[in-house]
Amino acid sequence: MRKLIPLLMLLLLLPVAALAASADMTLTPEEYGFTYTLQAEGNEFVVLIWEGKNETGRRTLYSENGHFEGRVELPCTGMGGKVTVTVQNLKQNRLASKSITLPEAADYAAPTGKANATVKDLTLEETPQGFRYAFTAPGTDYMMLYYRSKQESAVFPVYPVDDAGRYEGEVAAPLTYCRTLFTVQVRNAKGQQKDEATCRKAWAIPAMPEAREGRLSGVVVCIDPGHQENGQFVREPIGPGLSGTTVGKGGMAQGKVTLRKEDIVVLETAMILREVLMAQGATVVLTRDVQDVFHTNIERCEIAEAAGAHVMLRLHCNNSSNQNKTGIQIYCPLNSDYARAVASPEEYRLMGETLMNCMKDAVGYERKDGTGVTRLNDNYIGNNWAKMPVFLVEMGYMSNVGEDIKLATPEYQTLLAQGMAEGVYQIALLRGWGDAAGHAD
Ligand SMILES: [Zn+2]
């Protein structure tokens, strides 16, 4: 009997614990969508998930104070019907769940006519918004187009563009992350699959930000988004003054739940970092702004040198077999001739830890909580060949569910970028670069 008491107490405590982890959610059904307000104390990021008959989706939301509100568009739910909405925290625990019934939209008209034929020549083309499709289904009045990605799915009628039963059009899938795979099916009116194909969402280079004056005027930053979509293995000497050669690792981290790959996450973050740095006056050069390119590690250093960069930031994401592992890591070179010409190990460590503190402050990690490690070593070719201060920044662990979800979002990428920009400014003060030194260059 004695042993039962603690168990009983635990059972009594459970509802309280569950309540503490819950969120207050209000949903208002509307035509073609719903609005939500959500109070989830202590959560900067939550994942909103909705499931209706014709479409599903998930979106990561960010708020500094745990209050979230907005509208979800459901363009394929004109006939109305039940939609279940769930909110999860970054550990994928359910904070709230509710079902609502959407009204039939005033302008909704179900498609009519013949919608069954042999489908021929289904082709897909990547676009930055989603994909372009084309197929032929002779003698039909409409067909149903279905797609799904890791973030969303939808099914809706499409209509022929000519009398020969030729179909073509563009689909925007705004929730789907760049380079994520789409599976696309053409279905008949009964929902039976007639053909299927796949493609990815395309990468489009964001417009070049306007050059500005600011506290980083006169400072040249080289951003090196690590990896590329089609990695190659190239043997290169480890570093000047170091013996041996090594093959740069082609392996990349991949998101535990998003399945996103490191090469695209670092490229997206690099573009945001460019914007943040340029808004503060810096001149920015990138080692790559596309996915389909190949630069070896030494070539990346040469790009930074040719640009006259004061500093090189090499963006990467981490991976560990321990899925609980989180945090930032910064690597600096130690013994290469170029590293020694740049700074003493003590100076390098100071710069690395300065950058680390700025990044931890920006993303909300405590400075002393063990989520950040700064190391000096000879392990990285792309560090050893840099003739300017270089920092390999592992921005987070894609093997951790929460960091994977965060790293995929532009809001978290922006926090990281702001932290790195602050770090560049602090290092510019230390080193006396540009306007940061108190005089124009
Ligand atoms: Zn990497």
Residue 324 has pLDDT above 70, yes or no: yes
- C-alpha 125/C-alpha 135 separation (Å) is 12
Q: Quickly tell me which residue has 């808004």 as its tokens.
A: 279
Beta carbons of 391 and 355 less than 8 angstroms apart:
yes
Residue 269 main-chain phi, psi, to 5 deg: -65, -35
Residue 410 CA to ligand 1 centre (angstroms): 19
What would the pLDDT profile of 402-423 be if each residue is shown by its tens digit?
999 999 999 999 999 999 999 9
Residue 243 CA to ligand 1 centre (angstroms): 23
Residue 163 CA to ligand 1 centre (angstroms): 51
- C-alpha 11/C-alpha 317 separation (Å) is 41
Mean per-residue pLDDT for 33-38? 98
Residue 231 CA to ligand 1 centre (angstroms): 11
Residue 272 CA to ligand 1 centre (angstroms): 18
What percentage of the chain carries pLDDT values higher than 70? Answer: 93
Beta carbons of 75 and 89 less than 8 angstroms apart:
no
Q: Residue 232: what pLDDT?
A: 74
Q: Residue 372: what pLDDT?
A: 87
- C-alpha 351/C-alpha 216 separation (Å) is 17
Lowest mean pLDDT among 14-23, 237-246, 338-347: 14-23
Residue 198 CA to ligand 1 centre (angstroms): 27
Of 367, 405, 320, 324, nearest in space to 58 by CA: 405
Residue 1 CA to ligand 1 centre (angstroms): 56
Residue 318 CA to ligand 1 centre (angstroms): 7
Residue 425 CA to ligand 1 centre (angstroms): 25
Residue 345 CA to ligand 1 centre (angstroms): 23
What residue type is assigned to position 400 of the chain? N
- C-alpha 396/C-alpha 320 separation (Å) is 10
Residue 227 CA to ligand 1 centre (angstroms): 6
Residue 340 CA to ligand 1 centre (angstroms): 24
Residue 190 has pLDDT above 80, yes or no: yes
Q: Residue 5: what pLDDT?
A: 52
What would the pLDDT profile of 236-290 be if each residue is shown by its tens digit?
999 999 999 988 665 799 999 999 999 999 999 999 999 999 999 999 999 999 9
Residue 179 CA to ligand 1 centre (angstroms): 17
Residue 202 has pLDDT above 80, yes or no: yes
Please give the structure tokens belonging to residue 36.
């939500």
Contacts of 323 (CB under 8 A, 6+ apart): 256, 399, 400, 401
Q: How many CA atoms lie within 13 A of 381 on its CB side?
A: 20
Residue 354 has pLDDT above 80, yes or no: yes
Residue 228 CA to ligand 1 centre (angstroms): 10
Residue 311 has pLDDT above 50, yes or no: yes
Q: How many CA atoms lie within 13 A of 428 on its CB side?
A: 31
Beta carbons of 143 and 137 less than 8 angstroms apart:
yes
Q: Cα 355 to the chain's mean position, in Å?
A: 21
Residue 393 CA to ligand 1 centre (angstroms): 9
Q: How confident is the model at residue 141 (pLDDT cuts 50, 70, 90)?
A: very high
What would the pLDDT profile of 67-110 be if each residue is shown by its tens digit?
999 999 999 999 999 999 999 999 999 999 999 999 999 999 99
